[in-house]
Chains A and B, each alone.
Chain A
Amino acid sequence: MEKQQHSSGSETPVLPPVPRKPRNLGGGIPASRQDSVDSLDSPTGSHVEWCKQLIAATISSQISGGVPPEAIPRECKSQDSGEDGCQFDSDYELPSHTTQIFRDARKQAPMDEVPLVPGETITTTVKDVMYICPFSGAVTGTLTVTDYKLYFVSLERDFPFILDVNLGAISRLEAISVQSLGENTSGMEIVCKDMRSPRFAYKKEPQSNLEILDVLTKYAFPLSNELSLFAFQYKEQFPVDGWKVYDPVAEYKRMGLPNESWTISKINSNYEVCDTYPALLVIPTSITEDEVKRVASFRVKHRIPVLSWIHPETQATIVRCSQPMVGLTDRRCKEDEHYLQTIMDANAQSHKLTIFDGRQRNVADNHKAKDGGYENGNFYPNMELKFLKIPNIHVMRESLRKLKEVVYPIIDDQRWHSAIDATHWLEHIRLLLAGAVRIADKVESSKSSVVVHCSDGWDRTAQLTSLAMLMLDSYFRTLKGFQVLLEKEWISFGHKFAARVGHGDENHANSERSPLFVQFIDCVWQMTRQFPSAFEFNELFLITILDHLYSCLFGTFLYNSEQERVEKEVNSKTVSLWSYINSQPEDFTNPFYVDYENHVLYPLATLRHLELWTGYYVRWNPRMRPQMPVHQNLKELLYLRAELQRKVEELQKEVSSSRSVSSSSEHAYSPSNGGTPLHTSV
C-alpha cells in the first residue's frame, strides 16, 4: 500500500511528497488504499481518509480542480424535482481525474479482501446484503463483521463502494421492516454515535440471519457480552509511545510548580482521598492533610479544589472542584472556607476570588435538596459567585439528537437555518465559550484566581477549565500541548468517558450518555475558525480524536477515571491514540500556524460568529463536502514551509560561518524579516 501511494505521488517531482501512509486503523481511518478510494464515491466512507486521498490525488494530478462540466449543476436541478435529486450525488463529488486515479489504484489490489488491523479477526461474512444508501440508492454487496468493524463492499458499480463502521461507534442495532424489498428480506438499522444510521437489507435464511445481528450485537457491545474491548486486542506497534505524552510532574513544572504557595501533593496516590481524581494533585502548601480530608468530606464525590492552571506572571490560578455539600440547611465547613481563603491569598495580585458555577442558579438551588448546592457568600467573604447558566448533560444529549435529525440523512434545504436554530446546539456552544471567556478574562485582566465547579466537577467543569486554559496558554494550542490538555483536564481528572460514551455497552438509552466531549471539541473547532493561525493542529486532528473517542481502538478514552485505568493496566495493555498521532504529526499540522506565544485568545461567543461544524456533523452527506480541494493548498504550504525552513537554516549556517570570518556580528540574519540587509547588494 505504501508503494501505491508513492507511485501516485512520484509522478510530479516538483510537488510535495505524498504524506506517509497512515497505519492500518480501519474504520475512522480505513486500512487499505482501495477502500478509502471508494469512500470517495460512497457517502459513507471515512471523511478523514477522504481528505487525505483528496490531497494525494490532487497533488499527483497537479490540478486543483477539474470538476466535470456535467456534474455539479445537478444540485440546482434536483431542487426543482424536490427531495429526490440524490441519485445524482454519487457521480459528482469529485473531479473526474481523481476518480481516474483511484480506479488505477484499485486495479492493483484485490477487492474482496477485507483490510484488517493487527490483532483484528473476521467473525462472519455474509453475501448479497443490500446497503440502503440514503444518498445514492441501494447497493448489493458483501458484509463482513470483524471484532473491530463492520465492512461492506459492493462491486456492482463502476468503482467499488465501501462502507466501513467501527463497531465502537454503534449505539444500537435494530431490526427494521423492509417489506418493499420482498417477503424473505429482513432489515437492520445501525444507529451510530457519530451522526449516521446506515441501513441494510438481507435475505431471510433463518440461521445466517440470526447470526448477523447476533454477531454484530456481540462484538459491538463486548462489555455486555463478557468480551473485552478491542483496544486490548489491538497489536499495532508505533515508533512513538503516546503514553509518555503526559507526565503530570513535568507539566506542573512547566507551569512553574511547585512554588512557595502551591505544592504537588501525593495525598491521593492511592486514590484514597478521591477515587475519581488523579494520583498527583496541586494544593496550597499550607493546607494540612487533615484539612484536606475534611474539605473532601464537604465536597461532592470528595472532589476537593485543586489547581488546574497558574498564570506565569500574576500567579492567578484556575482551581477546579465539585459543588460543596451545603444542603438545605446551608451547612458550613470551616476548613473549606479556610481552604478557599488560602487559594485567594496565594495570589497577591487580587483580594477577590471568583467562583464560577457552571450551572443555572435555580438548578444549583435544586441541588441543595440533594445535599449539594453552592458557596454561601456570607461564609465566604471576598468571594463572588457567578452562574454560567449552562444546561446539564441531558439537555445537551437532546440537543445533539435534534441536530442529527436535521442533518441525517436528508436535509431540508429551505429550512436549513431555522432548523439548526431550533436544535439550540450552537446556543449551547455559545454558552460554553462565553463562560470560558469570562473565566479567562477574570484570570488575565482582573488577575484574580477563580474556582470552577458544576455539580460533580467532571463535565461542565472540565469543559470550562480546559477551554479557558486553551485561551490563556499558547502551549495547549500546539499539537503536543493539546494532548497534554486532554490527558490532564479530561482524562486524569475523571471525565466519565465510559459512562458518557458507553464504550462497548449495549444500554444505549442510559441517561448517563452525553456528548460533552464532542461539544468541547466543537468549541475548540470554533476557536480554530476564529483564529486560523493560532493552533498548531488542524481539523483532521480534531475529527480523528472524535472518531477514536468511539472506536475503542486505543486505550486513551477508555474508563471513567485514572484509578480504573491503572487497575485495568490500560497503559501496558492498550495503545495510546497519541502513539498514532505523533507517529505522523505532519498529517495533523496546520500550515498556517504561527506561535502566538503569550497571546490570550478571546473568541467571539455570539451566535453569528459560530458556525455549524459541517465537516464533522454532516460529513456523511456527500453534498456537504468541500468544492475545492483546499487541502491541497495546505499541503503544498506545509511542504513549502519545510523547504523554506531548510533553506533558511542552510543560509544561516553560511552567514554565521562567514560572519565568523568577517567578525561583523551586528547583522544577524533574520528569516522573518522582510528586508534583510543581505539584499541590498547585487
Chain B
Amino acid sequence: MEVVAVEEANPVMASAPIAPYNSSPLGNSSSQNASRESLKMEPLADVAVLPGEERVIDKDIIYICPFNAAVKGKVSITNYRLYFKNTDSETPVTLNVPLGVISRVEKMGGATSRGENSYGLEITCKDMRNLRFALKQEGHSRRDIFEILFKYAFPLSHGMQLFAFLSQEKYEENGWNVYEPMEEYRRQGLPNSEWRVTFINKNYELCDTYPTILVVPYKATEEDLRRVSTFRSRCRIPVLSWFHKENHAVIMRCSQPLVGMSGKRNKDDERYLDLIREANGTIKLTIYDARPNVNAVANKVWAGYCFPVRLGLLATGGGYEGDDAYQNAELVFLDIHNIHVMRESLKKLKDIVYPNVEESHWLSSLESTHWLEHIKLVLSGAIQVADKVSSGSSVVVHCSDGWDRTAQLTSLAMLMLDSYYRTLRGFQVLLEKEWISFGHKFASRIGHGDKNHADQDRSPIFLQFIDCVWQMTKQFPTAFEFNERLLVVILDHLYSCRFGTFLYNCESARESNNVRMKTVSLWSLINSDTSLYINPFYTPESSRVLYPVASMRHLELWVTYYIRWNPRIQHQQQSPVEQRYKELLALRDQYLKKLEELQLSDSAPSSTHLTNSSTPNAATANQHITHLQTPF
C-alpha cells in the first residue's frame, strides 16, 4: 500500500510550483530567455551585427516557448542568424540562433488549422532544441519568411555561400597559424632515425582525404607507401599520429585493409606493419579495430545496424587483419558502434531532455538512450590504446574508413598521454591535426548549409568526442588548462558556419576552397580573449598520463550542454566555487603585488612615486605606508 502511494506522488510533485525555483537569489533567475547566448552579441533589435552580416527580413511573430507561454515579438533573419526579441513584456525573451544550427525547417499547420497558434513554422536544430513560431492565419503570412529561412539556412542547397565566406570579422590573433604540422611533429621529436616525414601526398595524390605531410617508418620507401595504399580503404595507409618520446612506441592510424570476402592478403601491407612494429622493437604490434567483434555482433539486439553494415563492408572488400597474414600482430576489437547507432542514441537523448526532461524515471530513461554507454566504450577503447602505448608497445588504430571512431580513439589516447594537448593551445592543435587535417568528414557529418537533414552521413561523432573530453575534465579537474566553456563554444561553432575551422571534409577540399584565405579561424576568436576559457584550477604536470575511469557510475550526463536550453537547468552550477577560487587567486596576486610594492618603495625612497591624480588620497596613504614599513 505504501509503495503505491509513492508512485502516486510522482505526477503531483512534478507539477509542484515553479515559483520557488525561479526566486532563488543565488541563481541567475533574471535570465528568462531560453537562449543562453554564447556568441556575445548586442541585441539585434538595436542591431549590432557581425561584420559582413546582412539583414534579410523582419517580421512580427509569436514564439511558442516550450518553457514559458507563447511570446509575441519580432524576428529578424540575417544571412547569419535568426534573432527573436519579444515585444509583449518587460522581461526580455530573446533567441539568437545561427542559421547553421538549423537542420530542418517545416511548415506547421495549414491555413485552415484550428486552435491558437497552430499555423507557423517548426525549426529543428542540431544543438538539441526545436523552435516553433506561430503567425497570423491569413494572407500566406509565413510564405516569405519560410522561403528566406529555407534559403539562408541551407545556402549550399541554393547555390549560395556559407556565411564564413561572407564574414568580415577581424581578430588580433590569426587562428590559422595555430597548427603547423612540421612544428607539431618536431615537438613530438620527429623526424628521427625510426620515422621520417614524407611529402608523397603533397598534391593529395596518394590519399585525397589525408593531409599533405605524413610521418611513416623510416625504412618504408615511397613505392612501399603506394603499394600499401592500394590495400587500404580510400588509400588511408597507416601513418603516425603520436610518438612516445621515452619508449618510442607510436600510435598509427589508418583505414581497414581490403581483405574482402575471400580474405585477400597483401605482402606489402604485412611488411609495412612489421616495419612499424620493428621501429621500437615491439614484440607484438597491437591493432585496435574500433568496431564490434564480428562474432559478437549478432547477439546484440540494439546493435541492429551493425550486422548488415559489417556484411556490406566485407562485400565491398573491407575487413580486418587476419591472424595468419599478420603473425606479429594482435587484433583487438573495441566494440564501438557505427555512426548510425550514435545518431539514433543522441536522438533518443534529445527525446528525453527536450523540451521537457523526463522526470519520473530519469535515470532509467537516460540508461535506455545508451548514450553514456557509448561514451564509456569510446573512452575505454582510448584507455586501452594509451595503456598499450605507455607500456612500450606500438599500436595501429582503425575502424572502417579511419575518420570517425579512429579519430576519436587516437585523439583521446593522445589527450591521455600527452599533457601538451591538455593546454588551451595544444587542444586546438589536437583538433586541427587528428580531426581536421586527417579528414574527419565534418561537412558530411554535420551537413553544413545542406537542406538534406535525413542524410545517412550525419552523425554526432565529434560531439561524442567532446563529451568524452568533458568527462575527462570532470574526473581530472586540475589537469586541463581550458574550461567547459571552451568545449561548449567549440560545439556551437561546429554548427554555426561563422568560422572556417570545421568546414569541408578534408584538407584538399579546404585548400581548393581557399578556406584559410577567405574565412576566419575559430581559434582567432578564442585566442584573442583566452581568459574566458581558462580553468582556474589548472595545475600543469608535464609527464602525467591520465586514465579516466570508464564505468557507468563515473560517467555523468553533460547536463550543461545537452539540457542548457531548459531555463531550470541554468543556475547552480559549480561556478560559485570557480568564482571563489578566482577571487582568491586574484586576491593573492593583489597582495603579492602589494607586498612587492612595499618592498620596492622600501629600497627606493618614497619620492620616486608617481602620483596618480585621480586618487591622490590613495597615493598619500601608500606613501605613508612606505614610511611605516621601513623596519620591514
A-side residues, CB < 8 A to B, are 63-67, 69-73, 75-77, 79, 360, 362-363, 389, 391-392, 394-395, 411, 413-418, 420-422, 424, 426-428, 430-431, 434, 437-438, 440-441, 445, 530-534, 591-592, 594, 596, 599-609, 614, 618, 623-624, 627-628, 630, 633, 637, 640-641, 644, 647-648, 651, 654-655, 657-659, 661-662, 664, 666-667, 671-672, 674, 676-682
Chain A proximity mask over B555-590: 1 for CB below 8 Å, otherwise 0: 001010001000011001010110111011011101
A441 touches B364 (CB 8 A): no
Interface size on B, residues (CB 8 A): 101
Q: Are B591 and A651 in contact (CB under 8 A)?
A: yes
**With A607-B362, A628-B478 as contacts: A69 and B545 at CB distance below 8 Å:** yes
Contacts of A640 in B (CB 8 A): 584, 588
Point out the residue from B12, B580, B621 that lies within 8 Å of A678, measured CB to CB. B621
A607 contacts B24, C-beta separation under 8 Å: no
What are the residues of chain B within 8 A of A71 when measuring CB–CB? Answer: 547
Q: Say yes or no: A602-B21 contact (C-beta < 8 A), given A73-B384, A391-B5, A532-B577.
A: yes
B518 within 8 A of A: no
Compute how far the CA of A596 lies from the CA of B576 in the bound complex, rounded to whole angstroms.
Answer: 12
Q: Which residues of A contact B615 (CB under 8 A)?
A: 667, 677, 680
B binding-site residues for A, Cβ under 8 Å: 2-3, 5-6, 8-10, 12-13, 16-17, 19-21, 23-26, 357, 359-364, 366-368, 372-373, 379-381, 383-384, 386-387, 390-391, 475-479, 537, 539, 541, 544-554, 557, 559, 563, 568-569, 572, 574, 576-577, 579-581, 583-584, 586-588, 590-591, 593-595, 597, 600-601, 609-612, 614-615, 617-625, 627-629
Q: Roughly how many angstroms separate A312 CA and B415 CA in the complex, as a whole number? A: 54
**Given A362-B5, A592-B576, A628-B477: A661 in contact with B614 (beta carbons within 8 A):** no
Cα A71 to Cα B387 with chains together (Å): 9
* Complex CA–CA separation, A157 to B329 (angstroms): 36
A361 CB to closest chain B CB, in angstroms?
9
B584 and A658 form a contact (CB under 8 A): no
Interface centre among A363, A418, A440 (most CB of B within 10 A): A418
Bound together, the chains give a CA A644 to CA B590 distance in angstroms of 10
Question: Is there an interface contact between A680 and B588, defined as CB atoms closer than 8 Å?
Answer: no
Q: CB distance A682 to B597 under 8 Å?
A: yes
Nearest CB in chain B: distance from A79 CB, A = 7
B6 touches A658 (CB 8 A): no
Tell me the bound Cα distance from A672 to B609 in angstroms.
25
Among A70, A654, A680, which residue has its beta carbon within 8 angstroms of that of B391?
Answer: A70
Q: List 11 A-B contacts (CB under 8 A).
A: A69-B547, A75-B551, A77-B384, A79-B550, A431-B9, A592-B577, A599-B26, A600-B25, A659-B624, A667-B617, A676-B618
Chain B residues with CB under 8 Å of A69's CB are 387, 390-391, 545, 547
Residues of B within 8 A of A657 (CB): 628
A371 to B386, CA, bound (A): 68
Point out the residues of chain A lying under 8 angstroms from B547, CB to CB: 67, 69, 71-73, 75
* Known contacts A360-B5, A431-B13; A654 and B390 CB within 8 A of each other: no
Given A360-B5, A677-B618, A592 and B23 contact (CB-CB distance below 8 Å): no
Task: Given A362-B5, A417-B552, A606-B568, check contact A680 B600 (CB 8 Å).
Answer: no
Residues of chain B lying within 8 A (CB to CB) of residue A422? 364
Q: Establish whether residues B5 and A659, one from each chain, have CB atoms under 8 Å apart when the complex forms.
A: no
**Known A76-B383, A644-B588, A658-B621; 4 more pairs at CB < 8 Å:** A67-B544, A604-B21, A658-B625, A659-B621
Q: Does the CB pair A680–B549 fall under 8 Å?
A: no
Question: How far apart are B17's CB and chain A's nearest CB, in angstroms?
Answer: 7
Instruction: Collect the chain A residues with CB atoms within 8 Å of residue B572's CB.
Output: 530-531, 603-604, 609
Given A63-B541, A641-B584, A674-B586, residue A416 in contact with residue B552 (CB < 8 A): yes
Interchain CA distance A413-B380 in the complex, whole Å: 14
Whether A395 pairs with B2 at a CB distance below 8 angstroms is: yes
Residue contact B386 to A418, C-beta cutoff 8 Å: no
User: Is chain B's interface secondary structure helix, strand, loop, or mixed overall?
Assistant: helix
User: Cβ of A363 and Cβ of B5 under 8 Å apart?
Assistant: yes
Q: Select the residue from B391, B476, B623 with max chain A CB neighbours within 10 A.
A: B476
Q: Which residues of B contact A658 (CB under 8 A)?
A: 621, 624-625, 627-628
Q: Which residues of B contact A596 (CB under 8 A)?
A: 26
Candidates B361, B552, B576, B597; contact of A533 at CB < 8 Å: B576
A392 close to B552 (CB less than 8 A): no
> Would you call B476 and A666 a contact (CB within 8 A)?
no
User: In the complex, A440→B20 CA distance in Å?
Assistant: 9
In angstroms, Cα B363 to Cα A427, docked, is 11
Known contacts A391-B6, A608-B559, A648-B591; is-contact A627 B475 (Cβ 8 Å): yes
- For the complex, what is the distance from the CA of A75 to the CA of B367, rounded to whole Å? 20
Does A666 contact B622, Cβ atoms closer than 8 Å? no
Docked CA distance A599–B588 (Å): 27
Chain A residue numbers with a CB within 8 Å of B475 are 627-628
In the complex, what distance in Å separates the CA atom of A240 from the CA atom of B488?
50
Bound CA–CA A76/B378 (angstroms): 11
Partner of A682, one of B26, B477, B601: B601
Question: Closest 9 interchain pairs by CB?
Answer: A658-B624, A677-B618, A76-B380, A72-B547, A417-B363, A73-B387, A533-B576, A417-B367, A418-B364
Q: Name the distance in Å between A13's Cβ and chain B's nearest Cβ.
A: 18
Q: How far, in whole Å, are A121 and B594 apart by their CA atoms in the complex?
A: 57
Q: How far is the CA of A417 from the CA of B365 in the complex (A)?
A: 9
Alpha-carbon distance between A67 and B544 when the two chains are bound, in angstroms: 8
Complex CA gap A624/B2 in Å reads: 32
Q: Given the complex, which residues of A lie within 8 Å of B546, measured CB to CB?
A: 65, 67
Q: How far is the CB of B257 from chain A (nearest CB, A)?
A: 24
| Chain A, residue nearest B566 (CB) | A608
Chain A residues, Cβ within 8 Å of B20: 437-438, 440-441, 445, 602
Q: B348 → chain A, closest Cβ, in Å?
A: 14
Cα A675 to Cα B275 in complex, Å, equals 62
The answer to whether B580 touches A594, judged by C-beta atoms less than 8 angstroms apart, is yes
Bound CA–CA A594/B5 (angstroms): 40
Chain B residues within an 8 Å CB radius of A609: 572
Q: Bound complex: CA of A533 vs CA of B26, how far in Å? A: 10
B593 and A592: CB pair below 8 A?
no
Question: Given known contacts A604-B568, A667-B621, is B580 in contact with A414 (CB within 8 Å)?
Answer: no
A662 to B477 Cα, complex, angstroms: 48
Do residues B621 and A647 form an inter-chain contact, with CB atoms below 8 A? no
A605 to chain B: which residues have CB within 8 Å? Answer: 16
B574 touches which of A441, A532, A623 (Cβ 8 Å)? A532
Contacts of A67 in B (CB 8 A): 544-547
Could you say which of B359, B597, B601 contacts A608, with CB atoms under 8 Å apart? B359
> Contact at B621–A360, with CB atoms within 8 Å?
no
Residues on B with C-beta less than 8 A from A411 are: 553
- CB contacts (< 8 Å) of A651 on chain B: these are 591, 594
Q: Would A661 and B541 count as touching, CB distance under 8 A?
A: no
Q: What are the residues of chain B within 8 A of A674 when measuring CB–CB?
A: 586, 590
Q: How far is the CB of B99 from chain A (nearest CB, A)?
A: 31
Q: Which residue of A lies closest to B385 (CB)?
A: A73
Q: Is the CB of B16 within 8 A of A637?
A: no
The CA-CA distance from A416 to B614 in the complex, in Å, is: 63
- Nearest-neighbor residue (CB-CB) of A412 within chain B: B552
* B366 & A417 in contact (Cβ 8 Å cutoff): yes
A633 touches B600 (CB 8 A): no
Chain B nearest CB, measured from A206 CB (Å): 44
A679 touches B549 (CB 8 A): no
CA distance A633 to B584 in the complex (A): 12
Residues of A within 8 A of B2 (CB): 363, 391-392, 394-395
* CB-based contact B621/A664 at 8 Å: yes
Contact B545 A531 (CB under 8 A): no
Q: Which residues of B contact A628 (CB under 8 A)?
A: 475-479
Residues of B near A362 (CB, < 8 A) are 5
> A662 touching B590 by the CB < 8 A rule?
no
Q: With a CB–CB cut-off of 8 A, which chain A residues contact B550?
A: 75-76, 79
Contacts of A440 in B (CB 8 A): 20
Chain B residues near A641: list those with CB within 8 A.
Answer: 584
- Check B591 against A647 for contact (C-beta < 8 Å): yes
A592 to B545, CA, bound (A): 29
